[in-house]
Structure 1
Amino acid sequence: MRIAFPLYDGVTQLDLTGPAQLLSRMPDARIDLVAGRMGPFSTDSGFPLHATATFDQVSDADILCVPGGFGTTAAMEDDALIEWVARIGAGAAWVTSVCTGSLILGAAGLLAGYRATCHWAAREHLARFGAIPVAGRVVFDRNRVTGGGVTAGIDFALALIAAIAGEDHARFVQLSLEYDPAPPFDAGSPDRADPATVERYRAMVARLAPDRAERMAGIAARRGFSAI
């Protein structure tokens, strides 16, 4: 079971390491972090992740899993990365993502006509790439499986393990990692967080990605998607 994650600067490490931890517990799993070069890539957590293979070394995968992060937009503008994602996704048994990684799938032409989710603050952009945005923690549409923001990658991975290796094995993985969430606050969704916290997050996004909407529109146009 070959599992490939594309790696790029500015990735949210938990988007990658969360599902990687769980998916590594599938039978005969092999995980590669694939990039245009070997070496370290920056993450949002202040420590790097290192590529284990380059694009030309990985020509196929059973599972393609694309993580998100504030580096997503730049990754979508990287032709080599998008071409690799499109090529691997065309032959993968499962085409998947976590958080804004679904936007990368979209830019690669892999979500047109598919229901998909994303981090709530960026979900609207999925429609630019022909996807059908859905507000869900984990969304299955045929062999496309997308997870919501960041921590949803853990739920996503368990659901994918169940689909591939059966519920018994997924329950075993859940127990082995003691995944028994009981958050101290009920603020994990904009529907339940107080308005001040939601606005604080939106202000952070505006500061860190001030031109995201314009760049998304440009990427969609360059890749042949109709304007919305």
Structure 2
Amino acid sequence: MKYAKPLPDYLVRRYHGWKATTYQESKGWYRRLAEDGQHPRAMVISCCDSRVHVTSIFGADQGEFFIHRNIANLVPPHNPDGHHHGTSAALEYAVRGLKVSHIIVLGHSGCGGVEGCYQMCSGEAPELDDPKSFVGRWMDILRPGFEELPKGDKAERMRTLEKASVVISLSNLMGFPFVSDAVKDGNLSLHGLWHDIGEGALEAYDAETDGFVPF
């Protein structure tokens, strides 16, 4: 494909540095991962945001998490005839193929996707309302969360919407039969988290209070 270009030099240098240090120090572990396949205990659905580094937050090694990233860490409703199959396919593989024991939905502060949804629903981003906008149609998943926002300060409403992206995704997860069956059978548990990037804080969704509590 004629448009593909060589990697930037700084990435090539970083690769060689990793191969000479981290890989060499754990060569046996990497070879074991290659030979034995992956057996993650948890799937993490997080945002594409480059500031959210799931493995760093939990100090995880390769092979621990099956990670799926998308705009605003959203899980679409179960809809086999629809068009949101990337996340749904990853979810199906994690539950049916890898048989993970946990699914973690991880939202975060300052989410650009959530802000886009807020602006779109407020009439401030007509380009996202365009039927041809991939981002806009994806953020339609979060539109019900915007419609339920209380009045008040925009920053507080944005934070509420960020957390709503987690709760809506948890609700949508239970719409997938293979997820709900695994949950009801006790083979799978669902978890909702929200991460404050600047403060390094982590909050967990509490189903009993329908709110988030810090660790």
TM-score strictly above 0.5: no
Q: TM-score, normalised by structure 2?
A: 0.30
Q: TM-score, normalised by structure 1?
A: 0.28
**Larger C-alpha radius of gyration, 1 or 2?**
2
Greater relative contact order (CA < 8 Å, ≥ 6 in sequence): 2
Structure having the larger proportion of residues in helix: 2
